[in-house]
Amino acid sequence: MSHQGEQDYSLTFDRLVIVSNRLPITVSKDEDNGGWQFRQSIGGLVTALTSVLKKRKGMWIGWPGITEEANLDGLLARASDELGYTMRSISLDKEELDLYYFGFSNEVMWPLFHDLQSNCNFDPAYWYEYQVVNQKFAKVIAENIGPNDYIWIQDYHLVMVAKELRRLGVKNKMGFFLHIPFPSPDAFIRMPWRVQILEALLEYDLLGFQTPRDRNNFVYCMEAVLRGFRVDTRRQVATISTPKRKIQVGSFPISIDYKEFASVAASEEVANMSNQLRRAMHNRCILLGVDRLDYSKGIPEKLRAFRNMLERYSDLHNKLALIQIVVPSREDIPGYQTLLSEIEGLVGEINGEFSQPGWVPVQYMFRNFERAEILAYYRASDIAVITPLKDGMNLVAKEYCAAHADNKGVLILSEFAGSAIQFRKNALLVNPYDIEGIADAMYRAYEMDLQEQKWRMRKLRRSIARRDVYWWVNFFLQTAASDVAVPR
């Protein structure tokens, strides 16, 4: 189907209602007049959903990103006019945000679902507030929908919303997409509220996961924890039948707006910045890491591997450099501060040990970047090193390839990123816990001849172009629409 092609699901539902923790805008104080201003968030998900929401005259419901009490009606009306669909905001005060977002979402769900149980803090107060805030979302949704709207809930912050909506008597079709991995039963059963979480997920009509592995883990967890249902996994989209209803369960690998990325990366502005960067690095081979500050991203492991490579392959000294960009995130959580100190300590140690006049092996940056700048870094670098300990998909891998129109460049990718399934043949896959293995992959990437680079990169790019974020949205919504015959 073409991206702009008529979508079958448009005949099935009236409006599409997207619900996510954050609205697709960032609200901030206007320094000049003290009022509120907004900026549209960038990213493939927002772009892809915006195009569907515009067509369907849809709605996006979420938190506007501030905890101050404020009347945002005027601002949201302006944003809705500008973006072409309606927006409704959920206000959260500081305590709600602390317990629901930093607490349950990011100190329980996030680490547990990324197999990092030692980072979990199963504080019951987090769980209670998570339910209260999910109820709050449900109430606003119920007040704003029509009977034939499709409600699509995004991500781990909002698992309980369908259950709360059903309690309010809402009968609409509802889908849920989990952007992060789903853990195996061994990890999941540690969750004190495992029954409630799984039962709440069964209130949706369609459950979407990033990979078949996540989907299967969900089914295995169901089998380990709940009783009284049947699973049919014979089709690509499985079904779970309970005495009350049928739920579709599938894998829908998310992607990027490939064409848009490739075209901005090819722009003169990005080309100039990229050339400047290469000159600044004296045309040395550039290895690049771009990660949000998160312990799931394997940044210390990557730095240790880089150090190991410098120790074992001294012929590479002065010939290459690692540019590591770390984007600030969730800094109110103690574990993130510890991670930041660890990263900064390692960068200091490596540079202290190996730097020479005119050569600093690790160039480390901890700040936010404009998208054009990031694209310039992608374009300028020879090797991307992406080593998450676990990741739902990892869109940096896709963005890096989309930016390489010249088909040069090598992708080193953790086998525990969701994208490794799609890229397993043409990326250099590594185990992020295997420091020497990553170091060897870096060396191999450095040595790889242009012909092999191009042959691999062409295939990587083709597969991203074929399954971009529009394909993802269509695939999910068409699956949702195909379910109309399934009785409730």
CA end-to-end span of the chain? 29
| Beta carbons within 10 angstroms of residue 102's beta carbon | 16
**332 part of the active site:** no
Per-residue CA distances from 476 to 138, 431, 470 (Å): 22, 31, 10
| Beta carbons within 10 angstroms of residue 379's beta carbon | 23
> Which residue in the list 3, 14, 123, 179 is annotated as catalytic?
179
Residue of closest CB approach to ligand F6P: 179
Q: How far is the CB of 397 from ligand F6P (least distance, A)?
A: 13
Q: What is the DSSP letter of 34?
A: S
d(CA 464, CA 458): 10
- In the bound state with ligand F6P, the residue whose beta carbon lies nearer, of 44 and 409, is 44
**179 part of the active site:** yes
Per-residue CA distances from 337 to 293, 304, 329, 359, 391 (Å): 9, 19, 10, 29, 20
Q: How far is the CB of 398 from ligand F6P (least distance, A)?
A: 14
Vertex 327: Cα angle to 322 and 329 (nearest 5): 145
Which residues lie near ligand F6P (CB under 6 A)? Answer: 21-22, 155, 179-180, 329-330, 392
- In the bound state with ligand F6P, the residue whose beta carbon lies nearer, of 179 and 459, is 179
Give which of 296, 45, 293 is closest to 183, Cα–Cα: 296
Helix axes 450-466, 258-265, angle to 10 degrees: 140
d(CA 140, CA 85): 17
Q: How far is the CB of 22 from ligand F6P (least distance, A)?
A: 5
- In the bound state with ligand F6P, the residue whose beta carbon lies nearer, of 86 and 105, is 105
- In the bound state with ligand F6P, the residue whose beta carbon lies nearer, of 291 and 440, is 291
- In the bound state with ligand F6P, the residue whose beta carbon lies nearer, of 392 and 409, is 392
The pair of three-digit structure tokens given for residue 159, joined into one six-digit string: 């698992």
Which position has the token pair 């001294």? 314
Per-residue CA distances from 325 to 41, 290, 460 (Å): 20, 5, 23
| Beta carbons within 10 angstroms of residue 185's beta carbon | 17
Q: How far is the CB of 39 from ligand F6P (least distance, A)?
A: 15
Q: How far is the CB of 330 from ligand F6P (least distance, A)?
A: 6
Say if CB 279 and CB 301 are below 8 A apart: no
d(CA 248, CA 243): 15
- In the bound state with ligand F6P, the residue whose beta carbon lies nearer, of 155 and 483, is 155
> Which residue in the list 382, 391, 468, 483 is annotated as catalytic?
391
Q: How far is the CB of 452 from ligand F6P (least distance, A)?
A: 32
Give me the half-sphere count of Cα atoms (radius 13 Å) on the Cβ side of residue 45: 19
- In the bound state with ligand F6P, the residue whose beta carbon lies nearer, of 45 and 380, is 45
Q: How far is the CB of 92 from ligand F6P (least distance, A)?
A: 12
Catalytically active residues are: 179, 391
